[in-house]
Amino acid sequence: MPPSHVYLRDNIAAKGNPFGAPAKARAEWAQGLNLPSNGECFFFAGCGYQFMDRAETWLKAVRGLEKRGLPVERVLGVSKTLKKVGVDLAGVYGKLAGSGKTTAYINALISAVNVLRKLGVNPAYLYDKEPCCGSPLYSSGFEEDFAENARRTYRLLKSLGVRKLISLVPACTHTLRNLYPRYVDGFDLEVRHFLEEVAGRLKNAGIQPALKEEMELTFHDPCQLARFLGITQEPREILSRVRNLRLREVTSTSRERTTCCGGGGGVEFTFPELSGMLAEERMKELLETKASVIATHCPACLLQLREARERMRAQVQVLDIAQVLDKALRGG
Amino acid sequence: MDPQETFAKEYRARLMQAARDEKIKRALSRAIASFRKNVDTALSAFPHTVKLTREVRRIKEESVERMEELVEAAATSVRKAKGEAYLAKDGREAEKIIGELVGSGKLVVKSKSLTGEEIELRQYLERRGNQVYETDLGEFIVQQLDIKPMHILNPSIHVPREAVAEMLRKLTGEEVPPDIAEEVQVVRRLLRGKFFEAHVGISGANVVSADTGSLFILENEGNARLATGAPPKHIALVGMEKVVPTLQDAWKVAEVTWRYAGYAAPSYLNMITGPSKTGDIEKAITYGVHGPRELHVVFLDNGRLNFSRHPVLKEALYCLRCGNCLYECPVFSLTAGYFGDRYFGGIGAVWAAIVSGDIYGEEFYRAIPLSYTCLTCGRCKVRCPVEIDVPEMIVELRKLAVRRFLEKPPS
């Protein structure tokens, strides 16, 4: 068993998120948004977007060390030992590397809320009560832990009066929508993906999103979004409504034949260097479109592509589609 | 260190070494581009193929469900056609059967057989003092260079022409230019005589019909035609999952297989039912005219029957070995067959489990590091003609690994 998968499981058990971040950090992004904490329709932000800045520094550290010959298992061993005596390796590395906190993932969340509000949805938010859906438990093979977590999560959501979730992270959405019913008796929550909700509302809203300056953009379909949820038309429909935006498709590797960014199946934690190489390969395909912006919609894809761009010194912006739409809805 | 840990560590080292090797990436990127183009062309020229895949999926589902019974029926049909048929429980039994049929000190010509690779048949026959020639060009290169095959369709996909020229120079003692056409001619000359001197020809089969006991062998080079036709004895090693109910079914499976391998039709389709025979003199049937006098078909279980009963992992037995999944796999495109064991890619992880015989078997651990190398991205499934759900099987393998190796996790 790769120790990295065990590490993720232990973090979910101990901290309620795969990255071992302090639980109170979860809702920091929502400060100042005044999202209601009660309601029927809830915004499900997901661990990925909320903690990915931390995962990014951690992965950077691990990739750097692996290149210098220290395999990830050893790093995990060291990091666990350090944790026991109160030293947080990701935190330390983040400070050393001077990267500090990145706002890329958090901005995607804020934009998503802005977009929903503009389209007439004011969702509630669970703040630091938002549970981890347990997707990594499932894909790592910890079925019992997953089932237990799913039942607990469902009970919690029900007790908080949740009836509908608007979920962002494709993996969370797939897990909640398609896997939970297999493990939770009588599962009755409506799980909508953010892009489904937005595409539907935008069509009927009579608003024309517009950018001030022309933007050439390519869309990177996340695996889970395109192949597990079958959502490929919605992002294109949304983008086609934005004035001054030109969509440049990656010819043979878009939609259901999209190429994985390398951040899937836990490979990013088990083979960090390989995963980085895969991100660069995908980046090359995307760069062939000559677009100046790569939009996607998955925290892992964002992380992988951001990192690849940095290593390759590529002149391209990597954004979440929510950020692009938010901008266009504000008039560019 | 226990064998599990050693295997995982060595696997990781090999995988990463391959990933850092620019040559592999370059060779594969060319191959991937041309393969995809060929498949797209073949499918658009014969659009009914896509519809046919659904029928083939159904045929494979039924065949795997009825595997034991169909193999029995196929064996009966082979015998009726005056061939011999055997059922080997595992690799060792297959080796024993084939070893006795071949003997020692013999010259053997072999066409490509993944099932042969699975049990390392060539190495076994060589150890018994036989001279064995791989006759598929890719396999020949791999054999002569003493390396591992890296792809199911193109075993030497990672070897550039310069390396082939160098190998042929050493083998023949003559200068061979790094020119592919010339290299092919050298190999042709080298193997020409072997086909006719060989005592035994060994092949696999892409599909076998139970009702007639016919073996279908698809190829382009013509080596399988010679290896199964020229020597006096032909031995075929066939995985149990290759048997389908009828000749009609076998045609459908064969057509989908070659179309998804990128061909309108392969250069050669060998359909073999029993040994060579004639009735031209007084209608008296006499065997071994120009083709082999003896045909022996060895059906190999090696975990297949056991896994055909697993609700999720049985899907791997539907595999036609067309190779599309490998050309779709992002990890494979950087590491070639180093992402694999006997079989490659995500589905290779499942096959590592299958050929280990049992999830509580001794060698099951080989499937584990492979399963954690899969991105579970699912692109292979999109292109698979029989829609094998690799991500789902990978997660299932991981579940089995947790159950077996971590049992009760700490709460």
For residue B374, the chain A residues in CB contact (below 8 A) are 265, 267
**Percent of chain B at pLDDT above 70?**
98
Contact A149, A180 (CB under 8 A): no
In this prediction, residue B152 carries a pLDDT of 67
Instruction: Please answer whether residues A322 and A246 qualify as being in contact, where contact means their C-beta atoms are separated by less than 8 angstroms.
Output: no
Cβ–Cβ below 8 Å for B381 and A227 = yes
A293 Cβ contact partners less than 8 Å away, ≥ 6 residues apart: A215, A216, A217, A218, A316, A317, A318, A319, A324
pLDDT in tens, B355-399: 999 988 889 999 999 999 999 999 999 999 999 999 999 999 999
- For A25-73, the pLDDT digits (tens) are 899 999 999 999 999 999 999 999 998 887 888 788 788 788 777 777 7
Cβ contact B407:A148 at 8 Å: no
CB contact under 8 A, B372 and A223: no
pLDDT for residue B407: 65
Other Cβ atoms closer than 10 A to A177? 19
How far is residue A168's CA from residue A42's CA, in Å, rounded to a whole number? 11
Q: Under an 8 A CB cutoff, do B409 and A262 touch?
A: no
Chain B residues in contact with A258 by the CB 8 A cut-off are 379
Give every residue of chain A whose pLDDT is below 50, as ranges: 97-99
Task: State the Cα–Cα distance between residues B271 and B260, nearest whole angstrom.
Answer: 20
Nearest Cα of chain A lies from the Cα of B334 at a distance, in angstroms, of 8
Task: Inform me whether the pLDDT recorded for B191 exceeds 60.
Answer: yes
**What's the token pair of residue A84?**
């026991």
Instruction: Name the more confident of B297 and B5.
Output: B297
pLDDT given for residue A101 in this prediction: 61
Q: Which residues of chain A does B381 touch, with a Cβ-Cβ cutoff of 8 Å?
A: 227
Q: pLDDT value at position B278? A: 97
pLDDT at B410: 42
Instruction: Tell if the CB–CB gap between B12 and A273 is shorter than 8 Å.
Output: no
Amino acid at B88: A
Quick: pLDDT tens for B282-318: 999 999 999 999 999 999 999 999 999 999 999 999 9
Condensed to tens digits (0 to 9), the pLDDT of residues B68-99 reads 999 999 999 999 999 999 999 999 999 999 99
Contact yes or no for B374/B351 (Cβ under 8 A): no
Name which of A172, A112, A115, A321 is nearest A237 in CA terms.
A321
Q: What percent of chain A has pLDDT over 70?
A: 93
Q: What pLDDT is attached to residue A97?
A: 47
Residue among A13, A256, A259 minimizing CB distance to B330: A259
pLDDT tens by residue, B40-76: 999 999 999 999 999 999 999 999 999 999 999 999 9
Fold of A207-329: Rossmann fold (3.40.50)
The domain ranges of chain A are 3-55+101-198, 207-329
A289 touches chain B (CB under 8 A): no
pTM of the model: 0.94
What length does chain A have? Answer: 332
Tell me if chain B has a CB within 8 Å of the CB of A255: no
Ramachandran assignment for B379, one of left (phi > 0), alpha (psi -120 to 50 degrees), beta (any other): alpha
The 10 Å CB-count burial string (b at 16+, else e) for B351-382 is bbbbbbbebeeebbbbbbbbbbbbbbbbbbbb
Shortest distance, CA A143 to any CA of chain B (angstroms): 6
Q: Which residue of B has its CA nearest to A264?
A: B375
Size of interface A-B (CB pairs under 8 A): 99
Report the percentage of chain B scoring pLDDT > 90. Answer: 87
| B348 within 8 A of B341, measured Cβ to Cβ | yes
**Mean pLDDT of the B145-149 span:** 85
Burial A54-65 (b: 16+ CB within 10 A, else e): bbbbbbbbbbeb
Place of tokens 């947080």: A88
A135 at the B interface (CB within 8 A)? no
Question: DSSP letters of A54-114?
Answer: HHHHHHHHHHHHHHTT--HHHHHHHHHHHHHTT--HHHHHHHHTT-----HHHHHHHHHHH
Handedness of CA A232, A233, A234, A238 (dihedral sign): positive
Write out chain B residues lying below 8 Å of A254, CB-based: none
Identify the sign of the CA torsion B396, B397, B401, B403.
positive
What pLDDT is recorded for position B132? Answer: 98
Q: Set out the domains of chain B in order of their start, with CATH numbers.
A: 3-45+310-407 (1.10.1060), 49-54+65-302 (3.40.50.10420)
* Residue B409: per-residue pLDDT: 43
CB contact under 8 A, A265 and B374: yes
Q: How far is A35 from chain B (nearest CA, A)?
A: 34
CA closest to A221 among chain B residues: B377
Q: Which residues of A touch B36 (CB under 8 A)?
A: 252
- Chain B residues lying within 8 Å of A270, measured CB to CB: 372-373
Partners of A76 on chain B (C-beta within 8 Å) are none
Chain B contact for A148 (CB, 8 A cutoff): no
Measure B391 CA to nearest chain A CA, in Å.
Answer: 9
pLDDT for residue B158: 77
**Amino acid B78: pLDDT:** 98
A25-38 CB burial, b ≥16 within 10 A, e <16:
bbbebbeeeebeee
CA distance to partner chain A, nearest, from residue B300 (Å): 30
